[in-house]
Amino acid sequence: MSGKGGLPRRDVIAPLRFNRDLPGTRLLFAPGAVLELRSQLDSLGLHRAFVVSTGGRAAALAPPQELLGDSLIEVYSAAREHVPVAVVAKALARFRAVGADVCVAVGGGSAIGLGKAIVKESGTPLVAVPTTYSGSEMTSIWGQTDGNGKQTGRDRMVKPRLVIYDAALTFGLPADISAASGMNAMAHAVESMYAANATRETLEIAEEAVRLLAHSLPSVVARGTDLEARSTVFAGAHLAGRALDEAAMGLHHRICHVLGGTFALSHALTHAVVLPHVVAFNSSSAPQAMTRLARALGSDDVAAGLVALNRSIGVTATLSALGLRERDLDRAADEVTVTPYPNPRPASRDDVRAILLAAL
């Protein structure tokens, strides 16, 4: 198969199962692997599990009582997007009160984010059972939101000790959330490509991530129970999370953090909408990254390729549909430029405003 620009594309077959020990993190990747949760905790000497989730369907897919038996101490299912500090305070108080020795986050980036906030304070290990493509399970990045917006930082303490990828848990992830979350993973891979601290390894990981995501996201959206497509996108999200962990994020992430933290826009969908606009802005300043991205996406014009991918998976939203108003643009552009993230092309306040307006 060749892409629009005649670029070669290999067939994509991601492994359906693998186990791997990365520095500090044990990985299980297989359909049904969640059934090993308790034996894995036992092998790590952990017997008092505090489970965090956002409740709802994600929690129902992996019922903590059935999985953990008497190793389950408490389930806290009030995790929220962007990790509000008030939610962290309540969860941490319960975690301490019940004397848990491990936090197990079952769910997407919101559950994992709450788990990170708990272990950052408690010093106990974190275990993650991801059910979206946020990639947070592979990073030492934490984030929290308060009245002053979103704060993020890096701390090795918050990186999960054990990560269990069970693609069967994602069968019920709705098509629209799958699409947006997959493009959130895509954004991690894309921004790591032009990071000043990118290495040969992060570039290869990120290119593979883009290839896997671009190839299989349309199938996941079309057929949510396609195990091979779900596994492939999970593998892409896993690699993108590793790239995110190693490389600095740029203008795109800064914009999305402001839109999520200050204006409460939905995290994954904001990433999906903003990404092509930032790539168009950065493309002339990051030619090597664009060459790799074009090869992985199968599109000579990377920004156009991302727009086409968005369309093919039903992402048609704009920032105004997500709740941003034109009168918010000045404040958003100010916030983005006051504390910028490193970016291959310097972005002035007017540049940022123009990007936001184009995405509005």
Report which residue type is found at 149. Answer: G
Instruction: Select from 63, 37, 71 the least CA-distant residue to 163.
Output: 37
Give the per-residue contact string, 68-87, with ligand NAD (x = CB under 6 A; - = no): -------------xxx----
Which region, judged by CB under 6 A, interacts with ligand NAD, from 101-109, 221-229, 282-290, 292-300? 101-109
Is 263:323 a contact under the CB 8 Å cutoff?
Answer: yes
Number of neighbours of residue 85 by Cβ within 10 angstroms: 13
Whole-number minimum distance, CB 160 to ligand NAD, in Å?
A: 11
With binding defined as CB under 6 A, does residue 268 bind ligand NAD? yes
Whole-number minimum distance, CB 135 to ligand NAD, in Å?
A: 5
In degrees and rounded to multiples of 5, residue 74 shows phi and psi of -160, 150
With binding defined as CB under 6 A, does residue 178 bind ligand NAD? no
With binding defined as CB under 6 A, does residue 31 bind ligand NAD? no
| Dihedral angle computed from the Cα positions of residues 27, 29, 30 and 36, in that order, rounded to the nearest 10 degrees | 20
Nearer to ligand NAD, 3 or 172 (CB): 172
Give, as ranges, the residues between 38 and 57 that touch ligand NAD (CB under 6 A): 54, 56-57
Is 273:319 a contact under the CB 8 Å cutoff?
Answer: yes
Tell me how far CA of residue 101 lies from CA of 44, 87, 105, 173, in angstroms. Answer: 11, 20, 13, 30
Three-class SS state of 88: helix
Whole-number minimum distance, CB 62 to ligand NAD, in Å?
A: 9
Q: Contacts with ligand NAD: how many residues (CB under 6 A)? A: 32
Q: Please list, in sequence order, all residues whose beta carbon lies within 8 angstroms of the beta carbon of residue 60, skipping any fewer than 6 positions away.
A: none
Give the per-residue contact string, 203-242, with ligand NAD (x = CB under 6 A; - = no): ----------------------------------------
**CB-closest chain residue to ligand NAD:** 109
Is 255:274 a contact under the CB 8 Å cutoff?
Answer: yes
With binding defined as CB under 6 A, does residue 144 bind ligand NAD? no
List the one residue from 131, 216, 231, 343 that touches ligand NAD (CB under 6 A): 131
Q: How far apart are CA 305 and CA 72, in angstroms?
A: 46
With binding defined as CB under 6 A, does residue 25 bind ligand NAD? no
In degrees and rounded to multiples of 5, residue 86 shows phi and psi of -65, -35
Nearer to ligand NAD, 248 or 358 (CB): 248
Interface positions with ligand NAD (CB under 6 A): 54, 56-58, 61, 81-83, 107-111, 113, 131-132, 134-136, 139, 141, 143, 169-170, 172-173, 177, 181, 184, 244, 267-268
